[in-house]
């Protein structure tokens, strides 16, 4: 999980930079200004003066804001309706700035913003993200530019959208809004102590994006060092408690994008791999694992990416692809589900692994996790067999379609199966699973 806060005055290009960075990293972009704009719009439409603190506070009970994401795109429903670009007019900008100085409004929006960042890796832009909303964000950037440069950009944006205005008006309003936003008592727009200041007055949007990505990479590198430190302390302990026996560690490529695919017996498989691999691994773990005490905290610390099995989680796949593309090792369980006490050769497998390898263009490393009777227990020996990496061009992709994904996943899974001893394991019986599920429901 990574949380990136980009704060700064209006027109500094926060939203276009954040959007591009979100796309590059495969994470969610949250435009918090749009929340304030929707409240500003509501007040204007309901005849409430946006600067009348009392009137705005009591009118808030008529506001229902829903923040959601469709294919990574943010959608805000104001009382059930997506108001689109109606919130981008100069009147609405001024109204948003006025309502944002009111405590009840900031309180009203606090949890919506924080909850989004609890569940996802995000890049969030606003005025108080690094200081109030996400004070412990991993990356904080304070993006600024001269008032002239910002007014010019905003003016061009508005003209392109067909808004009838002048540069002078945009400039005057921008300076006024800056003053409102940075001098108000509540959550003023100021640089957090630990934020990195970036002035892009003389930079193009592309150059700014590059600089921001560079800052993020640097921070991630630092975090990786932190991970390796944690790994040095924790891994020997876990290897002891779980009696982990790694085999053929020399087969793990030392660098370059890699997709590690393993069979899945228990929730502890993540630890079996993380505590034996000398290389840092990003796990794609189903979201239920994050709520298991201790294990959830451990996999979070290990940088696991949440996947929602119910929904076809495009975001998690995209994150995995981007991680592998940028040279990380990503691990996934092609069975998509734990299958203890049975021969993995007889269970269903899913296509996500091949899809990730295809889009990342990376090699795949098969791993077989073996325990007695394929049942995990603490203090009972777990063997982790690392196989030979399969280079991308030997995975056998042809068209990159569904059939391809199916065939490649099967080919990878065959390599996984060949690593272990499954001779004493009974076949998977789906009817037993159905019965178990029924019992659980009762």
Query: Which residues contact ligand DC (rule: CB under 6 A)?
Result: 10, 32-33, 36-37, 96-97, 100, 126-129, 177, 181
CB-based contact 273:246 (threshold 8 Å): no
Could you tell me what percentage of the chain is helix, strand and coil, using 3-state DSSP and rounding each to the nearest 5?
50, 15, 35
- CA separation for the pair 284, 298 (Å, rounded): 14
Radius of gyration (C-alpha) of the chain in whole angstroms: 25
Q: How far is the CB of 49 from ligand DC (least distance, A)?
A: 16
Instruction: State the residue for tokens 């809004």.
Output: 177
Q: How far is the CB of 60 from ligand DC (least distance, A)?
A: 15
Q: How far is the CB of 435 from ligand DC (least distance, A)?
A: 51
- CB nearer to ligand DC: give 125 or 269: 125
Contact residues for 145 (Cβ-Cβ < 8 A; gap 6+):
9, 11, 12, 13, 153, 199, 200, 201
- CB nearer to ligand DC: give 167 or 392: 167
CB-based contact 335:344 (threshold 8 Å): yes
Q: How far is the CB of 78 from ligand DC (least distance, A)?
A: 15
CB-based contact 50:34 (threshold 8 Å): no
- CA separation for the pair 6, 422 (Å, rounded): 51
- CB nearer to ligand DC: give 33 or 352: 33
- CB nearer to ligand DC: give 37 or 231: 37
**For the sheet containing 244-247, what is the strand order?**
244-247, 382-386, 363-371, 258-262, 329-332, 281-286, 305-307
Q: List 307's β-bridge partners, or say none.
A: 286
- CB nearer to ligand DC: give 126 or 387: 126
Q: How far is the CB of 23 from ligand DC (least distance, A)?
A: 19
Q: How far is the CB of 188 from ligand DC (least distance, A)?
A: 9
- CA separation for the pair 217, 223 (Å, rounded): 10
Q: How far is the CB of 128 from ligand DC (least distance, A)?
A: 5
- CB nearer to ligand DC: give 97 or 276: 97
- CB nearer to ligand DC: give 98 or 275: 98
- CA separation for the pair 65, 112 (Å, rounded): 9
- CB nearer to ligand DC: give 67 or 374: 67
Q: How far is the CB of 97 from ligand DC (least distance, A)?
A: 3
């Amino acid at each position: 999980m990574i949380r990136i806060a980009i704060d700064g005055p209006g027109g500094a290009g926060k939203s276009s930079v954040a959007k591009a960075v979100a796309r590059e990293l495969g994470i969610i972009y949250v435009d918090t200004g749009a929340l304030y704009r929707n409240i500003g719009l509501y007040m204007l439409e309901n005849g409430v003066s946006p600067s009348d603190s009392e009137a705005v506070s009591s009118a808030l009970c008529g506001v229902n804001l829903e923040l959601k994401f469709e294919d990574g795109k943010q959608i805000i429903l104001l009382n059930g309706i997506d108001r689109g670009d109606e919130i981008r007019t100069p009147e609405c900008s001024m109204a948003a700035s006025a309502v944002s100085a009111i405590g009840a409004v900031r309180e009203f929006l606090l949890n919506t913003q924080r909850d989004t960042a609890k569940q996802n890796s995000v890049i969030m832009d606003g005025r108080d993200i690094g200081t109030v909303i996400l004070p412990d964000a991993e990356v904080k950037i304070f993006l600024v530019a001269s008032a002239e440069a910002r007014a010019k950009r905003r003016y061009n944006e508005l003209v392109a959208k067909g808004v009838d205005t002048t540069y002078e008006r945009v400039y005057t309003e921008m300076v006024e809004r800056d003053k409102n936003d940075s001098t108000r008592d509540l959550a003023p727009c100021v640089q957090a102590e630990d934020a990195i200041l970036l002035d892009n007055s003389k930079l193009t949007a592309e150059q700014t994006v590059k600089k921001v990505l560079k800052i993020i990479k640097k921070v991630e590198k630092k975090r990786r060092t932190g991970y390796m430190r944690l790994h040095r302390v924790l891994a020997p302990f876990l290897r002891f408690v779980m009696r982990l026996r790694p085999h053929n560690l020399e087969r793990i490529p030392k660098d370059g994008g890699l997709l590690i695919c393993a069979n899945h017996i228990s929730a502890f498989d993540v630890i079996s791999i993380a505590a034996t691999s000398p290389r840092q691994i990003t796990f794609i773990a189903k979201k239920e694992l994050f709520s298991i005490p201790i294990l959830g905290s451990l996999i979070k610390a290990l940088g696991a990416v949440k996947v929602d099995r119910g929904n076809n989680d495009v975001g998690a796949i995209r994150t995995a692809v981007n991680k592998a593309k940028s040279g990380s090792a990503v691990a996934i369980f092609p069975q998509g589900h734990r299958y203890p006490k049975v021969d993995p050769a007889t269970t269903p497998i899913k296509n996500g692994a091949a899809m990730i390898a295809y889009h990342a263009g990376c090699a795949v490393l098969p791993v077989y996790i073996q325990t007695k009777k394929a049942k995990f227990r603490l203090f009972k020996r777990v063997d982790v067999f690392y196989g030979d990496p399969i280079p991308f061009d030997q995975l056998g992709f042809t068209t990159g379609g569904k059939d391809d994904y199916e065939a490649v996943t099967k080919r990878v899974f065959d390599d996984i199966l060949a690593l272990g001893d499954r001779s004493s394991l009974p076949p998977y019986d789906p009817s037993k699973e159905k019965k178990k599920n029924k019992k659980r429901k009762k």
